[in-house]
Amino acid sequence: MPPLIDNENVTNQSLMDQEKKSAMDEHENKSNPEPISVSMNPDNVKENDVKDECLSEINQEKTCTGEDAEKEEEEYLDILGNGSLKRKILRAAAKNAKRPISSDLVTIKVEGKLEDGTKVDVYDSLSFVLGDGDVIQAWDLAVALMEEGQVIELQTDARFAYGEKGRKPDIPPNSSIAYIIELVKKDYPMDYESMSAAEKLKYGENKRERGNFLFVREEFVSAINSYNKAVRILDPATCSDTAESLQKLLESRLKCYNNMAACQLKTDAYDAAIKSCRMVLDVQPDNVKALFRTGKGLAAKGETKEGLMYMRRAQKLDPDTKVINQEIMKLSKKLQAESQSEKDMYQKMLGQKPPAKTNKQSENSSSVWKWTSVIGGVTIAIVAMGITAYRHLQH
């Protein structure tokens, strides 16, 4: 059987973290001198006075440092209110600059750093549709609050970046990242319906690749979102072009439906998975993946017999695929167990099962049946003879 999802070559995206700077003051420890007498101190300064003055300076320095830290913290906007996503404005936007809204096409310049200073996600120009899930969640949330020309520092926990899995090879699991982001420009939402087939294919494939990336990371709900957006873009009915171009759109769209069905099975959305597969089978009745996943969905719903039927159709087209053969064996055993369970249930409804007959009882029953048949035959013959004689006498 072909790979679980179509075209899983996903281009890794990178992320960035801001380097944290700290300044440390060095204090040189000196040994305490002998006590100074008044006669040896021309300025008449007592040792305790010197200590008090030093302590006062240290306390003042600590107070200033604390105030600076508090002031710096106040410059950050806690976007979600829980400290997991914070931003600070590094350069303000122009006076009449506008914010983008969901579905706008935005272009950003971005650079990120991990806590160890490693640079990730460095892009001089990166465009994406705001709110479509094409990038990490931290960017979608932060850019929605920016204005054209504005530059911010964004600090995000792993949850809104690359999570527990990280991203090989450059981002370890559970990595917090600091980004410097500039919103270069914002454009109006994409008008997919007016695009040519080639343009539709380009943007639709981008969505599909994003879905594949999320599928591999087992982020199935987000992957479904990307595939769903892809099938809308790839609709060949909304454009007129060459037959070859429209065929490419259709094939890419069917891949999205198939991959979406795989995600829906993973999230126990069986009816939705069956519906996605039927969108494929309406066009390609012999699509093995769609047949297999339809069978899986039906079986999961308890429709074992129907599920097994689809599995056998898939097996007929692709007899050497191990996973299909294993599923058929499993469903066959399940169907047999269900049939036996139904028989047992009917017997309980009709009463106890009658005791099994012994050989002697069976022989006696057979003999009685034979004699009954003979007697019945003789009786019928006598009646027939009587009727014939009666008719003869009437004439």
110-122: per-residue pLDDT in tens?
Answer: 999 999 999 999 9
Note whether 175 and 102 are same-domain residues. yes
**Domain boundary pick from 190, 215, 239:** 190
Q: Give the pTM.
A: 0.70
146 in a domain, yes or no?
A: yes
Please state whether the peptide bond connecting residue 169 to the residue before it is cis, i.e. omega within 30 degrees of 0.
yes
User: What single string gives the DSSP state of each residue in 329-365?
Assistant: HHHHHHHHHHHHHHHHHHHHHH-SPPPPPPHHHHHHH
- Which CATH number do you get for residue 213? 1.25.40.10
Quote the DSSP letter at residue 32: P
Note whether 141 and 239 are same-domain residues. no
> Residue 282's beta-bridge partner residues?
none
51 in a domain, yes or no?
A: no
Note whether 209 and 176 are same-domain residues. no
Q: How many CB atoms lie within 10 A of CB 120?
A: 22
3 in a domain, yes or no?
A: no
Note whether 210 and 255 are same-domain residues. yes
Note whether 248 and 147 are same-domain residues. no
**Domain boundary pick from 156, 190, 224:** 190
Please provide the size of the chain in residues. 395
- Which CATH number do you get for residue 153? 3.10.50.40
Give the containing element (helix H, strand E) for 126. strand 119-129
Q: What angle do CA 267, 254, 188 make, to 5 degrees?
A: 85
Q: What is the pLDDT of residue 35?
A: 36
How far apart, in whole angstroms, are the C-alpha atoms of residue 77 and residue 276?
42
165 in a domain, yes or no?
A: yes
95 in a domain, yes or no?
A: yes
Instruction: Pull the structure tokens for residue 109.
Output: 């310049």
Note whether 105 and 185 are same-domain residues. yes
Q: What is the pLDDT of residue 63?
A: 53
Note whether 158 and 264 are same-domain residues. no
207 in a domain, yes or no?
A: yes
Note whether 177 and 244 are same-domain residues. no
Note whether 284 and 332 are same-domain residues. yes
Give the containing element (helix H, strand E) for 122. strand 119-129
Q: What is the pLDDT of residue 20?
A: 38
Number of domains in the chain: 2
Q: Which of 278, 146, 256, 240 is nearest to 206 (CA)?
A: 256
6 in a domain, yes or no?
A: no
SS3 of 100-118: the string is CCCCCEEEEEEEEECCCCC
Note whether 268 and 174 are same-domain residues. no
Q: Which residues of the chain have pLDDT under 70?
A: 1-74, 344, 351-395
99 in a domain, yes or no?
A: yes
| Full residue range of the structural domain in which residue 297 is found | 193-340
Q: Which of 153, 19, 139, 183 is nearest to 89 (CA)?
A: 153
Q: What is the pLDDT of residue 205?
A: 97
Three-class DSSP category at 43: coil
Note whether 115 and 145 are same-domain residues. yes
**Domain boundary pick from 159, 190, 221:** 190
What pLDDT, in 10s, does the model give residues 231-262?
Answer: 999 998 888 888 899 999 999 999 999 999 99
Note whether 229 and 334 are same-domain residues. yes
